[in-house]
Structure 1
Amino acid sequence: MICVGKLLGVKRRLQDMTDALSDMEAGNGNRRILAVGNEPTADLSYKMNEIVTRYEEQLSGLRAADETNRRLMTSLSHDVRTPLTTLIGYLDAAHRGVVTGKEREEYLEIARHKAHDLKDYIDVLFDWFKLNSSEFALSIERAELAELTRNNLKDWIPIFEENHLDYEIEIPERPLFAKADPDGYARILNNLVQNVIAHSRATRIKIKMKQKEKEIEICVEDNGIGIEKADLPHIFERLYKCDKGRSDQGSGLGLSIVRQMVEKMDGRITVRSEPNRVTSFTICFPVKN
């Protein structure tokens, strides 16, 4: 027979649990149900605390996602509307005859560059939304990265020369096979190279590929202004823009997209930087024999 005192104790504990749950429902995510190990309600209290903890973690994730989306929309409004307005201004001036001759040609050239910049920005946004949609999927296969890298980089050489950027490319002649999505790999490489051109103010870029025992390593290195030590731990975070180091242009999504795509291919990416000396992004993919 259960004594009256024990029943009253259980009743008090159940009332405490009810009060705690009401407090949680009101928004106190830090509230927990206290229990002593030998109480009849202890297991129930522990389980309810676990559920509340998981719920609070999910809620925290949703808040972070909502804040990211809010910042993204703010960034989108500024980073798309501003250059678009400027682009229209240059084209209108050329179209209406406000500028003529050589100056008109210069206006059209500026407009062309701004149109390309805008396209690059929108491409990054589309990549971001695709990566974070439930429909996104990579086609990971046995890919020959050496030839894929050569074919991709040959399109960059005129851009290197146009930007007065000395380049050094080291790719082994023999095939290097890894598990990767060819299109995704090309996007990763393009983003890293574009990052150097757009933000580093470098005069030299070096791209080197080699095979280690179980990995293929691709390194993109520049001699630009670099990344400050305080920024390095955050460089792959969504919408993160360095206060110093790289320029404040761009969406703040490019390197986050790179990391996500590398990890979706079971690879890893690291970065090291000595400001005004060297910055190096290194990607490693598992070898596929």
Structure 2
Amino acid sequence: MFRAEVEAKGLSFEVDAGDSELRAPPLVITRILSNLLSNAIQHTASGHVSLIAQPSDNGYRFAVQNSAYLEHDAGAEALFEHGNKGDASTGAGYGLAIIRQLAEKAGLALGWRSDRTDGTEFTLAVPAKAVA
């Protein structure tokens, strides 16, 4: 779904989905991951964007990674508040707040980290009760 946009920007794009079966709300996971991938592509000027999906000790873990550093002066949790956005964002600041609400209602955990060396990673944890 995002390959053409990534290629148009000259970014490398990798999807590593493994071969596990997952039982979780597909629409919720699709909405969350598509928002995170869209954001990653939009905010990455050069380098890479990756989607990694793999079993974890506690269930299943998705990671959307990119090579861009996400600056946000208001703090880690503030990024998920309605109207808050990254310093370089051109959006209204509602996307991350909405997907966090979707995740919480579905019993999923959404997190992120960013540093100047490794870039940014958003994670979505699906608990074992939702994994086959």
* TM-score interval, smaller chain: 0.7 to 0.9
Asked if the contact 2:20–2:55 (Cα under 8 Å) also holds between the matched residues in 1, the reply is no
Which SS does the other structure have where 1:280 is aligned? strand
Identity of aligned residues (%): 25
Structure 2 portions without partners, runs of 5+: none
Deviation at 1:196, TM superposition (A): 1.1
Deviation at 1:262, TM superposition (A): 1.0
2:20 match: 175
Q: Aligned in 2, Cα 1:186/1:230: closer, same or farther, shift over 3 Å?
A: same
Identify which of 149, 157, 167 aligns with 2:3: 157
2:32 match: 188
Large movers: runs of 4+ above 3 Å: 228-231
1:208-254 residue CA offsets vs partner (Å, 9 max, x unmatched): 11101331000001111323464323111111023x3xx23012001
Which SS does the other structure have where 2:80 is aligned? coil
Separation in 1 of the partners of 2:13 and 2:68?
A: 13
Asked if the contact 1:199–1:249 (Cα under 8 Å) also holds between the matched residues in 2, the reply is no
Separation in 2 of the partners of 1:197 and 1:177?
A: 25
Q: Aligned in 2, Cα 1:229/1:176: closer, same or farther, shift over 3 Å?
A: farther
Q: Which has the higher helix share?
A: 1
Amino acid at match of 1:218: F
Identify which of 275, 281, 288 aligns with 2:116: 275
Q: Which moved more, 1:162-171 or 1:252-261?
A: 162-171
Structure 1 portions without partners, runs of 5+: 1-154
Deviation at 1:271, TM superposition (A): 0.5
Larger Rg: 1
Asked if the contact 1:239–1:251 (Cα under 8 Å) also holds between the matched residues in 2, the reply is yes
Which SS does the other structure have where 2:123 is aligned? strand
Amino acid at match of 2:126: F
Separation in 2 of the partners of 1:166 and 1:258?
A: 25
Say yes or no: does 1:241 pair with 2:85: yes
1:17-66 residue CA offsets vs partner (Å, 9 max, x unmatched): xxxxxxxxxxxxxxxxxxxxxxxxxxxxxxxxxxxxxxxxxxxxxxxxxx
Q: Which has the higher strand share?
A: 2
TM-score relative to the length of structure 2: 0.86
2:126 match: 285
Which SS does the other structure have where 1:241 is aligned? coil
Separation in 2 of the partners of 1:283 and 1:259?
A: 10
CA-atom RMSD in angstroms: 1.8
